[in-house]
Structures are given as structure tokens and as C-alpha cells.
Amino acid sequence: MSQPDIPFPQSPVLPTMVDEKYVIQFSCHKGIGCWNACCSNIDISLTPYDVVRMKTRLGISSTEFLKDYTVPYEMDKDSIAGVKLRPVENGTACRFMKPEGCGIYEDRPTACRYYPVALLSMRKQDEYVDRDSYAIVKEDHCKGHEVKRRIAIADYRKEQGLEEYDELARGWRQLVLKKQSSGPSIGKPTLRSRQLYFMACYDIDRFREFVSAESFNKLFDLPQEEKAALLVDDVALLQFAFRFLRQVLFGEESIALNAEAAQERLAKVQEKRLIEEREAAKKRAMESEAEGDEGFD
């Protein structure tokens, strides 16, 4: 089964993009000759909301879920971390696949819901808003395309419960697009910012501990009732995590900083900048000295 966000990572051929009015011919139902063929060979990227749904379904923490049920991967050259569903030990099949179908059907991930459609979120460099378009994935083993049921992608999304899934992962998609469109000018993120990104996006239970910690309190001036409400609601906390990441990674301030901490932070940033400038000046001086030495040879 192909993944929706980067649907054809190995293919050099760009898919034809269509909008949500496009009508597909497709039906997947029990009894079809290829039943479970797609779930026998998986390559499924998860959104942060998928992780919340699945770990809740399994009754485990996000930390346990990530460890046992996923494998991390780099979404692209900019080192944006992603997670994929881990298949069965020494195999390619999904661990939730049962003879009667998906064992977690009500909480199945976005990619499984979309299939055979792939969502392509894009943002033009001169535009702030992201736009969704779609591609159709046709794999030889999938006989669903031969069934004569016609449905517009918009209705297919409704049928598969994707409106909610996409809405609750939108903040994450925007972060990914923003990182991709900012490209090399921002440079490779530091290990610390990558860890923060991973935790806030995927490990919601650790992010909860992070928000509950005294160090967070010292830095951010978040009203107590707002914080208490966030801490008991994974979905609300996830939306806050996206907001938090926009602030710490891209400087889009929406969470008030504690005045004293803000001063301290500013002083630290200035000190760091000063050290960097000194280092750069030292390096330049050494380089020009070396060039001068070469001239005398």
C-alpha cells in the first residue's frame, strides 16, 4: 500500500494531479479477489493524529506505540522526521491485518483510508495557504478499480472519515510544508530542534510531561485553565503542539513568554550571536593570514 503524503517516493514519474471533484471508479469490499493484498505489503507513513488514534485504541502510551509499532524515517533531505507503521517481524504485512480485514478499522491510519487516492499537500513559495490535490494510485494487485462504483474524491473522503483526520493533522502538514519551502536558507535543523519536533508531533504523552514540567512554566505564560484543559485532551494538546512548534522553530509567536524568561532568553541569544561573530572574525583573520603566507612562497 502506498503512502499518501509523498505517494511515489521511488518513482521518477510525477503523478497526474486531480481535484476533489474528480470521480474515481473504485470499491473495496470483503469477498473481492485481492482482499488484504494491500495490507500484506505495507509502506504506511503516519500522521501525528494517526498515532493518537492508534495508541488510544491499543490502550498504550504514545512512547510505547512508537517503540513497538513504528519505524522512524527521514521524510526528505531536510531531515524532517516521520514514522511509518512497522510490519510483522521478518515480513511485510501489517500487524493489524486479520483474515476478516483490518483489526483496527475504526482507527486505521490516514493512508489506509485514502487508498487508492493519495493526498498531495502543497504550498507555492509566494503563497501562505496550503492547497490539497490528489493522485490516483493504480497497483496491479488491486482489483477495486474494476468494480463499477463511481464516486467523487470529495465524497470518498467523507465516506472514509478523512475530513476529521485531515483537519486534525493540518497543523502538522503545514509545518512540513513550511520546512520544505524554507529549504536550505534555514539550514539543517539542530539535533535539539529535531528531537523537539519528533516529541511534539508524535510522542504526545512525552509532550504532555514536557508541558507539565516546571521548566515549561518558567518559560511560557500559559493561563492555568488553558493548560489544565490541554493536559487532559490528547487532540487539543496535539493542536497546541503544532502551535508550539511554529513558535520555537519558525518564530511565529502565539504563546506568551514569561517576561523574566524572555529577557534571559534574549540575553542568551545575544551572547551566542556575539560568540559566533567572534569565531567568524577569528576564522577570517586566520584565513587571510594563511593567504598572506602563501604569497611569500
Residues forming the site for ligand SF4 (CB under 6 A): 1, 28, 32, 34-39, 42, 44, 94, 96-97, 102, 104, 108-109, 112, 115, 141-144
In the complex, least distance from residue 36 CB atom to ligand SF4, rounded to whole angstroms: 6
First to last CA, the chain: 65
Q: Return the number of the residue (35 or 210) whose C-beta is nearest ligand SF4.
A: 35
Bond prior to 116 in cis (omega within 30° of 0): yes
In the complex, least distance from residue 135 CB atom to ligand SF4, rounded to whole angstroms: 16
Q: Return the number of the residue (97 or 249) whose C-beta is nearest ligand SF4.
A: 97
C-alpha cell at 156: 470518498
Q: Are 137 and 3 in contact (CB under 8 A)?
A: no
Q: Return the number of the residue (104 or 255) whose C-beta is nearest ligand SF4.
A: 104
CA-based nearest residue to 204, from 70, 50, 86: 50
In the complex, least distance from residue 230 CB atom to ligand SF4, rounded to whole angstroms: 28
Q: Are 1 and 38 in contact (CB under 8 A)?
A: yes
Q: Cα–Cα distance between 94 and 209 in angstroms, integer?
A: 31
C-alpha cell at 114: 485514502
Q: Return the number of the residue (165 or 197) whose C-beta is nearest ligand SF4.
A: 165
Q: Return the number of the residue (38 or 201) whose C-beta is nearest ligand SF4.
A: 38
CA-based nearest residue to 163, from 122, 132, 128, 195: 132
In the complex, least distance from residue 26 CB atom to ligand SF4, rounded to whole angstroms: 8
In the complex, least distance from residue 47 CB atom to ligand SF4, rounded to whole angstroms: 13
DSSP 38: G
